[in-house]
Structure 1
């Protein structure tokens, strides 16, 4: 089951990050400004943000297997429709199509949180989450590595979307054949696939929204999530453009330089997850000790990137490989979030509400990340592509999120 989830994570990242590579030849063809490029990335996030909370509510009381299958179908079809949307006189269709991709992909993380809470033991959660997030980073690496070749082989950027959307539809076959909502020993506790109107409204009434709002630990995870998303969304949307604008590098080389940070994130996330779980297995069970572990790894996951980005804010090196090294450190250390707030999500909530809690912290985080991508485009247009301000702001926001988590977080289970 974990293998299937990892594959889905790869595919969702592939379809999302493909736009970061395709936007360079698209901009050359259509004359997109940095502001509009930021809008395209932002509309993905708007769709994601609009659906993340409903997705969490649905996953809490419906079959995660079915919800994931629906999401894969919709985002794959919307990816295939992307080239068609650019052929219109209006710019609105491409924004709407990207919003549809984002809306469909919003089911992925709440569904994964629900499934992992059922399939994994407490001392395995950091590694399981790190493995899932390594899937997103692997998809990012593949998007940067394969996309230039796919563009060449298919005769242009349009073939990129046809190819990745088609692969997503093919992936539905093994998912439908082999995915299960829970191990056989827990099948009797599963929700049904369908809910009527009364059941749906009851789910909403039963959801512990007030408890979420009043919990300092939830606020800690929310603020850390917001900080992570600001940097993550900007990294996914703007890294190839940074290399292209700052160093006048073409599509293939820009994509290639963007690969190493994602590889570092895979290694960093798996390292953090394994080390955190090893410590938890050896220690005496204690909320205080568990809280301390989450705070340590979360500090690495936000203060570390802030330091690397702060160096770039002071001076962008003339050699692109040196800039790549600092971005690699930033993204690699950011993956330590898997053993911080992301693992803490399953400690604060039981299986029923784990997906919803992740959605609750994701919604404002998505809005923050979305604004960050759009604001970055505006800043680049205002400053004639001055990236030092962009990196400095990213570093500052990471510091704020890390500090809030240190002050507010505790590992006490509140929502079971």
Structure 2
């Protein structure tokens, strides 16, 4: 891959790293926040999931905005909103105020996946999309890893409010660089003509894209493969959000670690996932031919990767801390890879490029509806059972169901027939 294209990967990796650092900030600060505000585990579960409430509601509208205005503008607006909300979270005076700022943060963060998947579709040849999605998705593991360590350090030396101020400030730095340097490959000045020609010639693979008007959302929602992407993403993301929101608390309460130690130990599975998901994503690209990509056969590797999160079924039966960290590292690495491959499968199956934003939003919606339940269900389970074992069992079973969904439901391209097609339009 040419180094210039790699810079787009770096931008997108940084975007998701910041996105997930801001999400995990509350997870790291959960104990001091719950003590200061007097919150029960159930109340903390609702607070940890509160950013997902608006996130979910905004996904479909954001997908429509991406298809209309493109990835650059939508990503810029999104990070500006969520960074400001993250800073405001540090000013919260109680449950209601913190929930409100977290919901605004969720609305802003809803932009990242639909806009970035559109950017990947525009910038990368079909044979590189799994790698690009893996690098982008690796930020969602690097964010919790780096965020857990960085925010833990800030909270440990200062206080939990300062952790939110620092996390939010980084987003504004990214925004300045994004507006100054990024654009579509057709327009950006720092791209050589040779590479620009390669991108434009190969980003649709060997099969020319269908040049039609955008497919109505109502029509997309009747397609089996769209629902396959939705449910597969949901089954894999549930466990990810359970780890993202509750792992530091689990390490403190069930394993007896201090806040600082829990933050650093919790970072290990996410750090492993950040590295291994990129490696496995590249293997996924090399494994598939152009014909395999066009036929949607990436689903087979998705199913294989979901066997990693299924290993969380073993957590109740292992006792040593290092064993738990190893199992969670494998589960996170393969789970994050499965998520990246599922977004690459979106671009494989969608024949009309201007539908990428909507289908990506539907896929993310599936992940986050299930993800919304993760922190809440975990809070109830912990309070009712007094332990975490059952939460890992639920996550493992859902991973197996996700493998079944991708193999059985995503077998057809996402396109309208000639008889159903709207009038043809020229693509940009």
Cα distance, 1:170 vs structure 2: 2.2
Alignment of 1:295 with 2:299, yes or no, is yes
Cα distance, 1:321 vs structure 2: 2.1
Alignment of 1:151 with 2:158, yes or no, is no
Alignment of 1:169 with 2:177, yes or no, is no
Q: Which moved more, 1:207-216 or 1:350-359?
A: 207-216
Is the 8 Å Cα contact of residues 273 and 338 (structure 1) preserved in structure 2?
no
Cα distance, 1:346 vs structure 2: 0.4
- In the other structure, the counterpart of 1:43 is 50
TM-score by length of 1: 0.88
Identify the match of residue 111 of structure 2 among 96, 101, 107. 107
Q: Which moved more, 1:232-241 or 1:340-349?
A: 340-349
Distance 2:290 2:10 in 1: 31
TM-score by length of 2: 0.85
Cα distance, 1:330 vs structure 2: 0.9
Identify the match of residue 13 of structure 1 among 14, 20, 29. 20
Distance 1:6 1:235 in 2: 20
Distance 2:214 2:412 in 1: 23
Distance 1:395 1:287 in 2: 28
Alignment of 1:54 with 2:61, yes or no, is yes
Q: Deviations over 1:318-346 (max 9, x none)?
A: x2222111111111111221463221100
- In the other structure, the counterpart of 1:380 is 382
Cα distance, 1:73 vs structure 2: 1.1
User: Aligned runs of 1:227-266 on 2, under 5 Å?
Assistant: 227-266=235-274
- In the other structure, the counterpart of 1:358 is 360
Q: 5+ residue gaps in structure 2?
A: 1-7, 188-195, 201-212, 417-426
Alignment of 1:181 with 2:162, yes or no, is no
- In the other structure, the counterpart of 1:93 is 97
Is the 8 Å Cα contact of residues 296 and 348 (structure 2) preserved in structure 1?
no
- In the other structure, the counterpart of 2:120 is 116
Cα distance, 1:316 vs structure 2: 4.4
Distance 2:290 2:169 in 1: 49
Distance 2:99 2:290 in 1: 51
Count of residues paired in the alignment:
387
Distance 2:166 2:308 in 1: 37
Is the 8 Å Cα contact of residues 77 and 165 (structure 1) preserved in structure 2?
yes
Is the 8 Å Cα contact of residues 144 and 255 (structure 1) preserved in structure 2?
yes
Which of the pair is proportionally richer in helix? Answer: 1
The root-mean-square deviation of aligned C-alpha atoms, in Å, is 2.1
Distance 1:31 1:312 in 2: 30
Alignment of 1:208 with 2:216, yes or no, is yes
Cα distance, 1:3 vs structure 2: 2.1
Distance 1:211 1:176 in 2: 35
Q: 5+ residue gaps in structure 1?
A: 190-204
Is the 8 Å Cα contact of residues 38 and 377 (structure 1) preserved in structure 2?
yes
Distance 2:392 2:89 in 1: 30
Cα distance, 1:247 vs structure 2: 1.5
Distance 1:215 1:403 in 2: 18
Cα distance, 1:27 vs structure 2: 1.8
Is the 8 Å Cα contact of residues 114 and 358 (structure 2) preserved in structure 1?
yes
Secondary structure of the residue aligned to 2:183 is coil
- In the other structure, the counterpart of 1:305 is 309
Secondary structure of the residue aligned to 2:307 is helix
Q: Deviations over 1:114-156 (max 9, x none)?
A: 1111001110100000011112222221111112221234x21
Distance 2:123 2:100 in 1: 36
